[in-house]
Chain A
């Protein structure tokens, strides 16, 4: 089963194509999507155990020798991200059954999700820099469809901006790959790493490193480049928002982590210092936004920005604690952001508004929702038994080891701001005087609760079962810290 690492990419792709033929039949759409995602999940779990047992998996498509064909590489880091992606998508799809509405379901909603997952998983798995660009475009074009599907006035307006920003950053990606190709003369990521090590990263490579940071910073919403995110993400319906918030920005973060641990490791004093400063500014900008708004969606959206900053701060330390903390926090953040968006979607459904000032007293009528939200909020802030704790602790530990005391204090202070911003939602929405709720059906509420609660339970298990996960995380960290493992796996023989 040498092709095992392709299954999480091919299966969603295959099911998406099949779904195109059953446009009107919603039952087929729903069941085939779930079957496809379950199959992909099974294969990705097999992939994790395979990577755990035998080390990094790499194949070159078409049996061409390594630097000449397209390599697909699955180390533990990408296998974990692929699995998390599929898990979140599965829950969002189940949540969509009762929240997205029949009209959208009949217009290629599920195929678009599956195509997007194809792109996300492909971007996590590829070992070729131009192939990564192609997979970025696959996921972006599917996301253009998802963000505009429904065609409300606000969606149209915001998707124009979203698409424009992404077209520009894609052009910049092509330009950067062209520069890299002219200097290095290869596109295979392992081979690029070898060649850069041979010439010892002269100035031009550092310029290309900064260009990559700009490209992936636009995708992943790094500090001066996050301007498009709050407006665009607030436009689509909640399940789409949950997918975007949990997955899309994380692809940019993954690409930064991959390039900054595999390619550009010879001038850390400049590149990683820049990453450090930008990530701290990202955290500060996110904190300001998270406190400024009285809108449920905006608060959580700015929490995405904060989390991006925290993860990249961990990466910029380039030591074992910092990197493994970043990996822990990345997986945690995907799970918990998915869960939080699904939960605030339920709050918006129940109250009929996303304005915090217009709600209150939900604890009397929707107590389970309140308690689950509280657990998710504590998990996001990193209260010890829950999932956000270990990642942030390792990141802070790594920062102290590297001597970045000020940065560590900012990380810790940002946790307080995160807690304050999500607790404000809890206090305004669940405590206080009950306001009159619009009449809503109780059945969608219950069926929306199930995937959200399971996702929160998963994130709690992720926090409680940290010890069980440590061997996997340390495998992932080893590959990031020692690029030679990755290179040997790709350029074998």
Chain B
């Protein structure tokens, strides 16, 4: 199971890198979304996929899933959610000001803004 997850996460990272290297701003943001999906799945996988019950105390259950990675993922999800919301609004504002979403045209140098 871990091997399958590793391959899937690898594909997610591959797609994320490909999208981040593209020219369109929106594709780049989609890439960061895939990147954080990959990272979160990686925490889950690296914590081990053993354990049959959810980490909720109940009578007679001894084989729990590791609760720590789930807490870490929950933290990382809300953080990346906040950052993604911010970067989307920022991209919208940048598009409104610069009239382009092509990163190659957003270069600018120090002499001319």
Which A residues have a C-beta under 8 Å from some C-beta of B?
130, 133-134, 137, 141, 144, 148, 151, 153-154, 156-157, 159-160, 163-164, 167-168, 170-171, 174-175, 177-179, 181-182, 187, 234, 293, 295, 298, 355
Contacts and interface: CB of A to CB of B under 8 A. Distances in A.
Contacts of A187: 68
Interface in B32-77: 32, 35-36, 38-40, 42-43, 45-48, 68-69, 72, 75-76
Contact of A157 (B72, B79, B106): B106
Nearest to A131: B75
Interface of B: 20, 25, 28, 32, 35-36, 38-40, 42-43, 45-48, 68-69, 72, 75-76, 79-80, 82-83, 86-87, 90-91, 93-94, 97-98, 106, 108, 110-111, 113
B20 A182 contact: no
Closest 10 A/B residue pairs (Cβ)? A182-B46, A178-B46, A178-B43, A174-B39, A156-B94, A171-B39, A171-B35, A154-B113, A137-B79, A178-B42
Contact of A164 (B20, B38, B39, B93): B20
Nearest to A153: B97
B17 to A, nearest CB: 9
29 contacts: A137-B79, A144-B90, A151-B93, A151-B97, A154-B108, A156-B90, A156-B97, A159-B90, A160-B87, A160-B94, A160-B106, A163-B83, A163-B87, A164-B28, A164-B87, A167-B35, A167-B83, A170-B80, A174-B36, A174-B39, A174-B42, A177-B43, A178-B47, A179-B46, A181-B43, A181-B46, A181-B47, A182-B48, A298-B110
A28 to B, nearest CB: 26
A178 B110 CA distance: 40
Chain B contact surface mostly: helix
Nearest to B86: A144
Nearest to B25: A160
Contacts of B106: 157, 160
A157 B94 contact: yes
B88 to A, nearest CB: 11
Contacts of B93: 151, 156
A107 to B, nearest CB: 14
A250 to B, nearest CB: 22
Nearest to A157: B106
Question: B20, B25, B39, B82 — which one has the most chain A CB atoms within 10 A of its CB?
Answer: B39
Nearest to B28: A164
B75 to A, nearest CB: 6
Given A167-B35, A182-B46, 17 more contacts: A130-B75, A134-B75, A137-B79, A153-B97, A153-B98, A160-B94, A164-B32, A171-B38, A171-B80, A174-B40, A174-B42, A177-B72, A178-B45, A178-B46, A178-B47, A181-B69, A293-B110
Contacts of A182: 46-48
A131 to B, nearest CB: 10
A175 B90 contact: no
Contact of A141 (B48, B76, B82): B82
Contacts of A163: 83, 86-87, 90
Given A174-B39, A174-B76, A234 B110 contact: yes
